[in-house]
Structure 1
């Protein structure tokens, strides 16, 4: 048992049948989670597409009501992070994920019946609560099944599916609107919500029937008894503690994991601001000398998530190959943020440099996969409830800051140069690199302590001693 644990720490296990098991997990876990995340982004982004496709005029939007709706969505999304991951501790994922999907699909279709902006505001709040289960919940599940050598690539594929939804969602929505506007008396933007909701339901059914839950409670029919046992052996045995208790709360806030990873993702989230706030699109829209066509304003910025997909897959694969050195991405983000911001500030009237820097900045999307994989790696030997809460808190903290950060530093009124935001990006990028180094130091220190504890426990067992040094060996028979 002790030797097996040491082998696991070194990543040396290669049990018979493991390859086949991982292939099954990849198919049933990744297909469902990637489709869920893809649809999540379609449902999340359809509001802006509907807004420019007739919803604004039909529902008499005025002022910044669209921004208010997006803020309400962010609030609901932030609130839902931790409760959704705690729910996975009590409710099997193959019930919880599909139930959330059915709920947000229903709310998406109900949006088609909205008669004023306030209706959409209320709907989007509750929709955000259910959609908040997808991102952090999937990272919790991936960390429950995959080893350190496998986790980065799977997290990368999952993250890339959301970026793909960002890239092609507008094209899909445009096709629906152009072909169905006026059908059965409904405006094209209303059909957008109806279709988005309908195509979500089959994926929810697929998850309900075939998602494997977690290694400890899986009853997946496609996994044999030996494969279930193998899946259990691939992840360390950890203690379990209910996440709804005062003792757990004290334990959570007494560890360094919560503070360090929440701050890490807050900083990382703000380094994504160039991309997540569509700064290239706003730059083109407000360009002082060039007039871009509508198709150009919509199509050219799709290169940013394309770079994000390539960067995500590259860094996820590389950090797996290097044995889980996820921290390398933190340093890459620090370098990228400083250089891209500094060049935009230095050459405010050079359009080519602006385009190049915004595209390069898209590479920081790699942090989504690698940093959540890093949290799963570091918390692998802690109880599942702590890992679930830390992962959820990371995204909750980032969204709480994002709710006002974009307004202060990247508001549309700052276009096209976003000077204030460039200085903010330089600051958070430097902070990102420093914080990454501190987290590495904390992790190394914790691992050394764990190794000493494991070695001590092995030594005491081999000599028949307990931790107090008392001899409990069974006396030899004379």
Structure 2
């Protein structure tokens, strides 16, 4: 019962979800809350969505807006202004990724020691200033799953992770529209090319997000209470997670903790999962389509204007939203991740086969690019899977999340650099890019749909046997 979960819980607090007293009614696909959720808990979840989910989404949106803007700037004047004639665009992406590869594990695990309410906004602020400095370039020389997993139930994570992931898609989409608008209205304004204004605009967007985080981003349920939450609501948050055996205590880094983390199955299984997903290189889909649209010519002239070259690939994000929302709702309702992942992976595989075979039918090829956006829904499902499997171990969750993302970037970076070089776009025939992608899509599907469920089932049963033995001996 609630009273035995946390000694600080007030006896006057009434908690929902007591299944022994009130069995839950059947859940509908459109329900945003669990069946039987009380009015008080719905109000709490609304607050979590507004203050936590909104901040993490805005931050991720800014990150992907900034990173995608490099591609849009490239096709909107940067290539000519900076005399970029080789694969410099690949290198620009590589430089972005190196920071994540090196800093990811450190900055994410630091959240178990440093208060997230200060750490996350500070990182956003620093990032925004670095992006601002890009506008001065004269030559080519010149973290959040953890926070979401700390506050939501396992049955709520997939949909929130999907919104979080879509914020990156939104950043990619808006990047094209912003660059098109700046090219039309701001090119050479105050002596600056439109692509330079793009990075200034990024800075202007990023700073308010950081300020919002300083005021609204909380720590963890068992830490200090944020100003926008009552004490009863904080205790409700603790109880919600404790019901699922995700009752996180204060982290203590010592040799025992390191040994526990290094011997956990989640660390290795999910790092492999994310690595296989990234090796498919689907994250570069919008860039591939941008370069494809730019390559189309009629009578020796570019078929599309700069504005359309920036705008047409943004439809990828719209279709990706449909894949994300649909897969998240199905997963939360059925808890059958493998079937959903198999469907998404199969769609990506089909699109890659089309890219390898190729077609001169422009409408057909564009449809294939849009269809391939099914890849975008995979990351949210894997991260939600990780969060639910780590239970209340925030150290394991933080370390695994950071390492799997760093490893993902570490394997994807050389792949996009050498297998999908810009100089070979859009077919990548000489480097056999899409053959490479097809192989790794198959590996990803087999791992996520067969081996990972088997591994999870084995260790879950093993942990249950150990718990039963300990309970028997204690009696």
TM-score by length of 1: 0.83
Which residue in the other structure is 2:289 paired with?
Answer: 280
Deviates more, 1:387-396 or 1:400-409: 400-409
Q: Which has the higher helix share?
A: 1
Deviates more, 1:440-449 or 1:364-373: 440-449
Q: What does 1:57-456 correspond to in 2, within 5 Å? A: 57-61=80-84, 63-119=86-142, 133=143, 138-235=144-241, 236-238=246-248, 241-243=251-253, 245-273=254-282, 275-276=284-285, 278-286=287-295, 292-294=303-305, 295-322=307-334, 324-346=335-357, 348-381=359-392, 383-419=393-429, 420-436=432-448, 437-456=450-469
1:279 Cα shift? 2.6
1:387 Cα shift? 0.9
1:265 Cα shift? 0.8
The verdict on how the C-alpha distance between 1:59 and 1:310 changes in structure 2, with shifts beyond 3 A counting, is same
SS of alignment partner, residue 419 of structure 2: helix
Q: Do the aligned partners of 2:70 and 2:92 also contact (CA within 8 Å) in 1?
A: no
Structure 2, unpaired ranges of 5+: 6-16, 25-33
1:15 Cα shift? 7.0
1:273 Cα shift? 2.4
Q: Do the aligned partners of 1:340 and 1:360 also contact (CA within 8 Å) in 2?
A: yes
Q: How many residues align?
A: 441
Mapped to 2, the partners of 1:392 and 1:162 lie a distance apart of 17
Mapped to 1, the partners of 2:411 and 2:183 lie a distance apart of 34
Using CA pairs below 8 Å that are at least 6 residues apart, which structure has the higher relative contact order? 2
SS of alignment partner, residue 219 of structure 1: coil
Cα deviations by residue, 1:184-238 (Å, 9 ceiling, x for unpaired)? 4544433332232122212211111112222121421121111111101111224
The verdict on how the C-alpha distance between 1:416 and 1:117 changes in structure 2, with shifts beyond 3 A counting, is closer
Cα deviations by residue, 1:387-430 (Å, 9 ceiling, x for unpaired)? 10101111111111111112333223444434522322322122
Q: Do the aligned partners of 1:109 and 1:196 also contact (CA within 8 Å) in 2?
A: yes
The verdict on how the C-alpha distance between 1:444 and 1:285 changes in structure 2, with shifts beyond 3 A counting, is same
Q: Do the aligned partners of 1:271 and 1:333 also contact (CA within 8 Å) in 2?
A: no
1:247 Cα shift? 4.2
Mapped to 2, the partners of 1:355 and 1:60 lie a distance apart of 29
Cα deviations by residue, 1:133-175 (Å, 9 ceiling, x for unpaired)? 3xxxx11111110001111111111111110111121211332
1:299 Cα shift? 3.1
The verdict on how the C-alpha distance between 1:416 and 1:161 changes in structure 2, with shifts beyond 3 A counting, is closer
Mapped to 2, the partners of 1:108 and 1:340 lie a distance apart of 33
Mapped to 2, the partners of 1:239 and 1:259 lie a distance apart of 23
Mapped to 2, the partners of 1:4 and 1:426 lie a distance apart of 52
Q: Do the aligned partners of 1:152 and 1:319 also contact (CA within 8 Å) in 2?
A: yes
SS of alignment partner, residue 217 of structure 1: coil
